[in-house]
Structure 1
């Protein structure tokens, strides 16, 4: 039997955790259940992730990084406002195309906020920095730090609100219409700079 490297096994555990959290919630996402979903011994999970918190942080970090990778498509000749609005649209589309990941991200953040406030603050900071970096890249460094922070926070707040609304009503057409409204709001703010 071929030996599986720690990094590959790490990714298996992250993917298994996403599925288990989406199905059972964070509280019921035991390391035993996650190891079983990854088809791995529990001891291997604890070797790769020393604590459940380490695993949860890795899951959340993955949920921040994966959609950021989808933001490679910048509209040719687009203004900074159009690029930033399109970025919000791409994020919403990515998560609606990956509903298990959207559910996991929401469930995980709510659990962390309630149970590990310091980790929640750290995760929000990582998310804000990733969003700032992505906006800076798609707009070709068009903003000073204050504007970049303001735009990034608005984008995160709009995205989170759109996802919460979608979880509640489940209507993709309604989500798309609400996303277009939110994109116009982002474009208006960006254009004001």
Structure 2
């Protein structure tokens, strides 16, 4: 077990990414900014906490891409199941931290950031077999796209954005676990990339 954790650098990379995630949740809280939108004549207020999952997604991809291919191809341990458990543990930690930050600081966006983390990691895992380590760019690109073009002129997030939706939004509540499940299914079936 320890060799797998060391090979994935989970003890270092995931810990640092989770610390950055917590820091962003605490610092940004419910802060909004108005960004220009190419779709509307004026900008829409965007919660800055939308970008909190990006470092955690980057840490997750870095950890999953760190591997000892020769040892993993000849070994008999269930590495894909262990990688899936790591992904689920990170998402569980993101949700737990989000709930704690919302409770302690009386905010509303931190738990939604945990849901967004699940969605963005799922998206990233879906394209990882094709893009390899470059899949790490998708969460950042998705958040930027949502910030610039994901809001109606009245300031409401479009349903496709998922990450821009409120915590109680039923569409986002269904889309996030579905995309995560799809990403995990792809990860379980895909051959590891060098």
TM-score when scaled to structure 2?
0.44
Q: Which has the higher helix share?
A: 1
TM-score when scaled to structure 1?
0.44
Max Rg structure: 1
